[in-house]
Amino acid sequence: DSSDINEIQNFTKSNYAEPNPSYYAKGKGMNVIYVSLESLQSFIINYKMPDGTEVTPFLNKLAAGADDTTYFKNFFHQTGSGKTSDAEFMMENSLFPLSQGPVFQMKGFNTYQAAPAMMNQRGYETAAFHGNVKSFWNRDQMYKALGYERFFDSKYYDMSQKNTKNYGMKDKPFIKETMPYLTSLKQPFYSKLILLSNHFPFGMDKEDTTFKPGDFGDSVVNNYFQSANYMDQAIEQLFTDLKKEGLLDKSIIIMYGDHYGLSENHNDAMAKVLGKDQITPFDNAQLQRVPLFIHIPKISGGTVSTYGGEVDVRPTLMSLLGIDTKDYIQFGTDLFSKEHRQIIPFRNGDVITNKYSIVGGVVYDNGTGKKVDSSLGKPYETQAKKLLDYSDKVIFGDLLRFYKPKGFVPPDISKINYNTDQK
C-alpha cells in the first residue's frame, strides 16, 4: 500500500548517486540507440583463437576507445528466466526482474515509469526494433506499459529463409532493414534494436560466415565464436551506416550483452577456451560478465573497471541526458557517478562487488579467487537482499500506481497501437 511506497521512496533516495559533472548532460537532447547484443559474454572481447585471430575485432576497437566509446569490463547481467526481456526490463526501469518467471509475461499490466515514457514526454519519438513476432515475451503488451509508441517487429522485415534463423532475423539483414526505419523517425528519438542471431545453439548457415569455428570439443561452444564474429560484423555495419547518416555524432549508443550464451553445461569446453583446468563456481560467477559499451559523442572513451550491472544503466543514461532521477523509484546507480555503488545482486542470491564474489553463500576475494571469511560478505548480502526485496514489493504490489515522480507524464496506453502501421 502507500506506506510501503513511502518507505521504498526513502530508501531509493538514500541510495541515489549524484551525477559526475564530467558526464552530466553531455548527451542532452541527443538521440538514444540501445542495442541488445544477444548472448554476448565479455570473455569474447579481446579473445584470440589459438591461431591468433580476434573474434570481435570491431568491438575490440570500441573497447579500446574508438568512436568515443567507453567499455565496462566488469559489467554483469542480472537476468532470470525472462532472459532477453528481463534485461530489457532492467535497462528501462532500473527495477529487478523476478526470481521466478518472466516479469514481461507476469506483470505486463503494471504501472511503470520507464525510460521510453520519460523521453516521450520530452518530445522524443520512441521505437523498438526486433526481428521476431511482437507477442514473444509479451513484448506487445509490456512495451505499451513502458511507453513505446512504435514497435517494428517481424511484420516490418523480410523474414524469408535466407534472412532468418531460429527465432527470426539474422543480424546483418536486420541492421540493413532497420536503417531506413530508424532514419525516418523524428529526431530526437529513443530507440532500441534487439539483435537475435547470436542465440543458442549458435550454428550458422554456411554462406553467412568464413570464420573458422572453435575446436574445443563442444559444437555449441565452437559455433559461438563464428556467431559472435558475425554479430561483430553486423555492429560494424551499424556504426558505418550511422556515420553515413550523420547520426553517430548526434546519438548516445548503449550496447549490452543481455545474458550469458554458454551455460554451465559447457564448462568442460569453457575450461579449454580459457586455458584453465576446470571452471569452478567462482569462475562461473565471473563468466556472467556481459559487455557494456556506451558511445557518447565528444566524450573520450576506453576501458573502465567500474563494477556494475544491468539495473545501473538507466540512471547512467538519464544523467548523460541531463535528466534528474532523484524522484524516481530505481534500484541502480549511475555508473559514471563517484558515488556509484559497486554492488551487483543476482536473482539466485549471489552478490558481486568490486572486492568480493559471494557465490552460493561462499565469499571469494575477486583478486585472488580464494575463499575468505564469510563475515566479510555479510553487509553486501544484507544490502543486496534489501534491494531485491524492495524491487519485488514494487512489482508484486504494483506500487507505482500509488506514486508519481515530480513532472512525470504517464504513457497514454489506450492511444498506442502496434497494429496500425503497415509496411
| Catalytic annotation, residues | 84
262 in contact with ligand GP9 (CB under 6 A): no
Q: How far is the CB of 24 from Mn ion (least distance, A)?
A: 32
196 in contact with ligand GP9 (CB under 6 A): yes
CB 263 within 8 A of CB 45: no
Secondary element (H or E) of residue 392: helix 378-396
Nearer to ligand GP9, 11 or 167 (CB): 167
- Binder of residue 136, out of Mn ion, ligand GP9, none (CB less than 5 to 8 A by kind): ligand GP9
Nearer to Mn ion, 38 or 171 (CB): 38
Q: What nine digits make up the cell of 341?
A: 555503488
Q: How far is the CB of 83 from ligand GP9 (least distance, A)?
A: 3
Q: Report the amino acid identity of residue 88.
A: E
* C-alpha span between 202 and 211 (Å, rounded): 13
Nearer to ligand GP9, 199 or 355 (CB): 199
Beta carbons within 8 Å of 172's beta carbon, 6+ residues apart: 208, 230, 233, 234, 237
CB 223 within 8 A of CB 201: yes
Q: Which of 15, 74, 84, 93 binds ligand GP9 (CB under 6 A)?
A: 84
Nearer to ligand GP9, 60 or 84 (CB): 84
258 in contact with Mn ion (CB under 5 A): yes
Nearer to ligand GP9, 97 or 377 (CB): 97
83 in contact with Mn ion (CB under 5 A): yes
83 in contact with ligand GP9 (CB under 6 A): yes
Q: What distances in angstroms separate CA 196 from CA 168, 170, 257, 322, one per listed residue?
A: 7, 6, 11, 31
Q: Tell me which residues in 197-216 interact with ligand GP9 (CB under 6 A).
A: 199
CB neighbour class for 185 (10 Å; exposed up to 12, middle 13-18, buried from 19): middle
CB 175 within 8 A of CB 15: no
319 in contact with ligand GP9 (CB under 6 A): no
Q: How far is the CB of 95 from ligand GP9 (least distance, A)?
A: 18
* C-alpha span between 323 and 405 (Å, rounded): 12
Q: How many residues are present in the chain?
A: 423
Q: How far is the CB of 194 from ligand GP9 (least distance, A)?
A: 6
84 in contact with Mn ion (CB under 5 A): yes
287 in contact with ligand GP9 (CB under 6 A): no
Taking CB under 6 A as the binding criterion, the range among 14-22, 191-199, 288-296, 341-349 that sits at the site for ligand GP9 is 191-199
Nearest residue relative to Mn ion (C-beta): 84
Q: Which of 179, 186, 229 is nearest to 204 (CA)?
A: 229
Here's the x/- map for ligand GP9, 163-182, by CB under 6 A: it reads as: ----x---------------
Nearer to ligand GP9, 194 or 285 (CB): 194
Beta carbons within 8 Å of 68's beta carbon, 6+ residues apart: 295, 296, 297, 298, 299, 300, 301
136 in contact with ligand GP9 (CB under 6 A): yes
Helix (H, G, I), strand (E, B) or coil at 233: helix
User: Where on the chain is the footprint of ligand GP9 (CB under 6 A)?
Assistant: 83-84, 132, 136, 167, 194, 196, 199
